[in-house]
Amino acid sequence: MCVYEPDGTPLYTINELLNFFNFTLDDFRADNFQARAFHAADVERVRTTRSKAMSRGEGREVEPRVRRKDASTVGF
């Protein structure tokens, strides 16, 4: 679970997610979070999906491949 400002600025995420990526809350809030957390081929799709949903005030569902803290990539 992640919490964002209405403009899309990340505010908070659960510790389990931070531990999965080996990130701090500041890492999560950084501009390059998506590029560091998601497979390179999925980053633009994640950004576009999130941006469209947030501009409409809707929830979103996207299934990107993610990079674990050991740098391996997994899909959900």
List CB contacts of 69: < 8 A, sequence separation 6 or more: 19, 20, 21, 22
The amino acid occupying position 20 is F
Provide the pLDDT confidence category of residue 2 given band limits of 50, 70 and 90. Answer: confident
All structural domains of the chain with their residue ranges:
2-74
Closest CA to 3 of 16, 46, 13: 13
The pTM assigned to this predicted structure is 0.69
Tell me the per-residue pLDDT of 13-46, one tens digit each, with 9 for 90 and over: 999 989 888 899 999 999 888 888 888 899 999 8
Tell me the per-residue pLDDT of 21-30, one tens digit each, with 9 for 90 and over: 889 999 999 9
C-alpha 62/C-alpha 19 separation (Å) is 21
Please, are residues 73 and 65 in contact by the beta-carbon 8 Å criterion? yes
